[in-house]
Amino acid sequence: MSSEPSTQPRHGEFELIARYFTPAPPGPEAGVALGVGDDCTLLAPAPGRQLAVSVDTSVAGVHYPEEAPAEAVGHRALAVSLSDLAAMGARARWCLMSLTLASADDAWLAGFSRGFRTLCDMTGTALVGGDVTRGATSIGVTVMGEVVPGQALTRHGGRPGDLVAVTGALGGGAGGLVAWQRGERDLAHPLLARYLRPQPRLAAGEALVGLATAAIDVSDGLLADLGHILERSGVGATLDPEALPLAEGLVAELGEAPARRAALTGGDDYELLLSLPAERFEAASARLAALGLPLTVIGRLEAKPGLRGVAMPGRSGWQHFQAEGDEHAGGVT
Amino acid sequence: MSSEPSTQPRHGEFELIARYFTPAPPGPEAGVALGVGDDCTLLAPAPGRQLAVSVDTSVAGVHYPEEAPAEAVGHRALAVSLSDLAAMGARARWCLMSLTLASADDAWLAGFSRGFRTLCDMTGTALVGGDVTRGATSIGVTVMGEVVPGQALTRHGGRPGDLVAVTGALGGGAGGLVAWQRGERDLAHPLLARYLRPQPRLAAGEALVGLATAAIDVSDGLLADLGHILERSGVGATLDPEALPLAEGLVAELGEAPARRAALTGGDDYELLLSLPAERFEAASARLAALGLPLTVIGRLEAKPGLRGVAMPGRSGWQHFQAEGDEHAGGVT
């Protein structure tokens, strides 16, 4: 990279590689009034809805292995952003992508865009803008979804007595990273699939609207993310670590005790962690079962602050793990 | 940067440095129903408006000098995105920021956020989300604005006979880069100010709604950007290069002929280039004069395709310049 910039064209790049991305055409069903190709895209939000917006950046060599398959990189960069919409119970509508590339060949771009586009199609998300710049490889994805006012799932609605539950299975992100690091490269491997091709729980999030009192996606690790719900809701919790649903193949990959630790503190699972009154559990479980997704009770919210039930050698509780997580943030303070 | 990623916390980083950014508090005037601190921010768009959205990424050493003052970097990263809203005649409402940092100290972050935040305040743009990640320094900014349906300024509305006009003055971006490269560091220098602290023409864009038939911001260079209007509108044009308004100090910095070239092909000016019927020019000019901004006629749209009136040694017209601009895109094909 030169330290002497030239004046860089700001609009040409996306057009150059637009053939890889098939942006959403204008149309009322996609909510796109004017598609890619002008200074802005024009969107037509559904009347009476709130917009849920979030952005996540994935940096090569930091958030995913530099050698990861291009298709998985495209899928994953979008999935981690969509997961934030899922955690709000929002309906995914639109996304914008900032792609920064050191270099790229046709094969890489074709794979990347296939992974990105396929997940757009699967989730009804219209790609409505983006830019491509030269630099160290990273992908920023802004997502926009819609919710009925007052119905969004937030982190602050948890109440003492609520059950704590989690969708799917945990530890797959951390376990998949270990599998990758020992050389596993088969994307059909269950842990690698969980790590490199996480599935944002959008349908589950929408299904939980009206049932869950609080929700978050498990991106920083169960304990850290539960900590966010506890802090925002002003409650404590008792957790039953034995109840944690472990990702397929996790114990075989890591062994029993490290597998339980991965489920508690590993990141990148992108399941939904939620609280809900006990009397709504059956309804919630039935709705998620219809989506093929288990819902597992792993604890209970309590008025008393702090987290109980978690005891591991050398670990003092969720606040400790949260602090440890922050150390990973990488020297920005 | 390690090639072996760890699982990275996805939500903790922004909170760590949130003290620098004072995100918009919830409130009806900011259109923010739920502020930063959950998985998504919830926005309340004004009823009956379309959303104009765009994203631009600024890479250190590519789009701006790595040694540029932090405050200018923060200002500029937001300004180039807001300029796209200006070109649509949209009212700026919200932005999200992806900040990727190799490393940063408190002084840099304080300056960066001051530049970013001040422009937010000046333009009524609420910062409603963001993430901070570790990696080569770059800043992606997604902006969202609102327009009345059918009133957005687009690239495709130009009609034969319309005047071609430009706000402010041209060549300041390219001239400022030259001044920087010869060692000029005084941000009060008029060219350096134009290059490092461009002013998005948001008020001008809104003032031109109902008057301009097409508009674009001058980011890739006047000829390239006029080319976009011609292509999208299906028209040609004759340009009067002698009429181009030159940025203050440009001739002194570059000399007469290079100054005219910089005005024609230099990027990063962030003025508005527009077409409008001759009978509306007086009204448009009066509205912009009230904003302290000149509006200069530089040509006319014509039914005959192509661009006429531009003749410089070794240059064959705007298509050539556009192709030249594309070479700067940096190896993404």
Tokens of B205: 């864009």
Contacts with B269 from chain A: Cβ below 8 Å: none
Contacts with A136 from chain B: Cβ below 8 Å: 1, 135-136, 138
- Per residue in B82-136, pLDDT (tens digit) is 999 999 999 999 999 999 988 767 889 899 999 999 999 999 999 998 888 888 8
Contacts with A329 from chain B: Cβ below 8 Å: 8-9, 12-13, 16, 132, 134
The per-residue b/e assignment along B73-110, b for 16 or more CB within 10 angstroms, e otherwise, is bbbbbbbbbbbbbbbbbbbbbbbbbbbbbbebeeebbb
Contacts with B155 from chain A: Cβ below 8 Å: 37-39
Considering only B155-164, B295-304, B310-319, which range has the smallest mean pLDDT? B310-319
pLDDT at B1: 36
Q: How far is CA A302 from the centre of its chain?
A: 27
pLDDT at B318: 34
Q: What is the bridge-based pairing of β-strands B236-239 and B307-308?
A: parallel
The angle formed by the CA atoms of residues A210, A201 and A247, to the nearest 5 degrees, is 120
CA–CA gap between residue B234 and residue B232 (Å, rounded):
6
B158 vs A5, which has greater pLDDT? B158
CB contact under 8 A, A12 and B322: yes
pLDDT at A325: 35
pLDDT at B332: 25
Closest-CA distance of chain B to residue A21, Å = 14
Considering only A226-240, B37-51, B139-153, which range has the smallest mean pLDDT? B37-51
pLDDT value at A24 more than 70 = no
Which of B104, B106, B267 is closest, CB to CB, to A9?
B267
Which of B10, B38, B144 is closest, CB to CB, to A154?
B38
CB contact under 8 A, B219 and A174: no
- Per residue in B183-207, pLDDT (tens digit) is 999 999 999 999 999 999 999 999 9
Contacts with A132 from chain B: Cβ below 8 Å: 329, 332
Which of B54, B84, B328 is closest, CB to CB, to A9?
B328
For residue B325, the chain A residue with the least C-alpha distance is A9
CB contact under 8 A, B33 and A47: no
pLDDT at A130: 87
Q: Which CATH class is domain A163-325?
A: alpha beta
CB contact under 8 A, A129 and B177: no
Tokens of A3: 């330290």
- Exposed, middle or buried, B160 (CB in 10 Å: 0-12/13-18/19+)? middle
pLDDT at A159: 98
The per-residue b/e assignment along B231-240, b for 16 or more CB within 10 angstroms, e otherwise, is ebbebbbbbe
Which of B41, B80, B215 is closest, CB to CB, to A53?
B41
pLDDT value at A197 more than 70 = yes
CB contact under 8 A, A59 and B16: no
A90 vs A324, which has greater pLDDT? A90
Contact assessment for residue B262 and residue B175, using Cβ atoms and an 8 Å cutoff: yes
- Per residue in A116-146, pLDDT (tens digit) is 999 999 999 999 988 888 888 999 999 999 9
Tokens of A251: 């114990």
pLDDT value at B280 more than 90 = yes
For residue B2, the chain A residue with the least C-alpha distance is A61
- Per residue in B64-87, pLDDT (tens digit) is 999 999 999 999 999 999 999 999
A313 vs A304, which has greater pLDDT? A304
Which of B2, B44, B50 is closest, CB to CB, to A33?
B50
Work out the average pLDDT over A176-201.
97
For residue A215, the chain B residue with the least C-alpha distance is B39
CA–CA gap between residue A238 and residue B59 (Å, rounded):
46
Q: How far is CA A63 from the centre of its chain?
A: 12
User: What is the location of CATH 3.90.650.10 in chain A?
Assistant: 163-325
Q: How confident is the model at residue B323 (pLDDT cuts 50, 70, 90)?
A: very low
CB contact under 8 A, A53 and B98: no
Fold adopted by A13-147: 60s Ribosomal Protein L30; Chain: A; (3.30.1330)
pLDDT at B103: 78
Contacts with A92 from chain B: Cβ below 8 Å: none
B13 vs B269, which has greater pLDDT? B269
User: What is the location of CATH 3.30.1330.10 in chain A?
Assistant: 13-147
Work out the average pLDDT over A221-244.
96
Q: How confident is the model at residue B149 (pLDDT cuts 50, 70, 90)?
A: very high
Q: 3.40.1440.10, 3.40.630.30, 3.90.650.10, 3.50.70.10: which CATH number matches B163-326? A: 3.90.650.10
pLDDT value at B17 more than 90 = no
CA–CA gap between residue A20 and residue A217 (Å, rounded):
30
List strand residue ranges (DSSP E) for chain A, in order.
Answer: 32-34, 41-43, 50-59, 91-101, 126-134, 138-147, 163-167, 214-217, 236-239, 272-276, 295-302, 307-308
pLDDT value at B9 more than 60 = no
pLDDT value at B150 more than 60 = yes
Q: Of A10, A41, A49, A63, which to mutate for an interface test with B (greatest number of B Cβ within 10 Å)? A: A10
The angle formed by the CA atoms of residues B195, B200 and B203, to the nearest 5 degrees, is 150
Q: How confident is the model at residue A283 (pLDDT cuts 50, 70, 90)?
A: very high
pLDDT at A54: 96
Which of A65, A228, A333 is closest, CB to CB, to B16?
A333
pLDDT at B160: 98
CB contact under 8 A, A220 and B11: yes
Q: What is the bridge-based pairing of β-strands B236-239 and B138-147?
A: unpaired
The per-residue b/e assignment along A246-275, b for 16 or more CB within 10 angstroms, e otherwise, is bbbbbbebbeeebbbbbbbbbbbbbbbbbb
Segment (H or E) for B126 = strand B126-134
B281-290 long-range contacts, CB within 8 A, separation 24+:
B281/B163, B281/B165, B283/B211, B284/B165, B284/B207, B284/B208, B284/B211, B284/B212, B287/B207, B287/B208, B287/B211, B288/B167, B288/B204, B288/B207, B288/B208, B290/B207
CB contact under 8 A, A54 and B221: no
- Residues of chain B with pLDDT > 90, as a percent, come to 75
CB contact under 8 A, A140 and B228: no
pLDDT at B324: 34
User: What is the location of CATH 3.90.650.10 in chain B?
Assistant: 163-326
pLDDT at A133: 84
Average pLDDT, chain B: 88
CB contact under 8 A, B138 and A136: yes
For residue B174, the chain A residue with the least C-alpha distance is A7
Q: How many CA atoms lie within 13 A of B274 on its CB side?
A: 36
pLDDT value at A316 more than 90 = no
pLDDT at A139: 95
Work out the average pLDDT over B234-261.
96
CA–CA gap between residue A139 and residue A76 (Å, rounded):
10
Average pLDDT, chain A: 88
Nearest to A273 by CA among A161, A123, A170: A170
Contacts with A89 from chain B: Cβ below 8 Å: none
Contact assessment for residue A24 and residue A35, using Cβ atoms and an 8 Å cutoff: yes
CA–CA gap between residue A331 and residue B120 (Å, rounded):
26
pLDDT value at B8 more than 80 = no
Interchain CB contacts (distance < 8 Å): A and B: 354
pLDDT at A102: 83
Contacts with A150 from chain B: Cβ below 8 Å: none
A14 vs B310, which has greater pLDDT? B310
CB contact under 8 A, B133 and A62: yes
CB contact under 8 A, A39 and B87: yes
Sign, CA torsion B53/B58/B63/B67: positive
CATH of domain B12-37+48-147: 3.30.1330.10
CB contact under 8 A, A41 and B61: no
pLDDT value at B322 more than 80 = no
pLDDT at A1: 36
Contacts with A330 from chain B: Cβ below 8 Å: 8, 13, 133-134
The angle formed by the CA atoms of residues A176, A182 and A187, to the nearest 5 degrees, is 45
Contacts with A221 from chain B: Cβ below 8 Å: 7, 9
User: What is the location of CATH 3.30.1330.10 in chain B?
Assistant: 12-37+48-147
pLDDT at B19: 67
CB contact under 8 A, B57 and A144: no
CB contact under 8 A, A50 and B41: no
A151 vs A321, which has greater pLDDT? A151
Segment (H or E) for B99 = strand B91-101
Residue A294: how many other CB atoms lie within 10 Å:
14
Q: How confident is the model at residue A319 (pLDDT cuts 50, 70, 90)?
A: very low
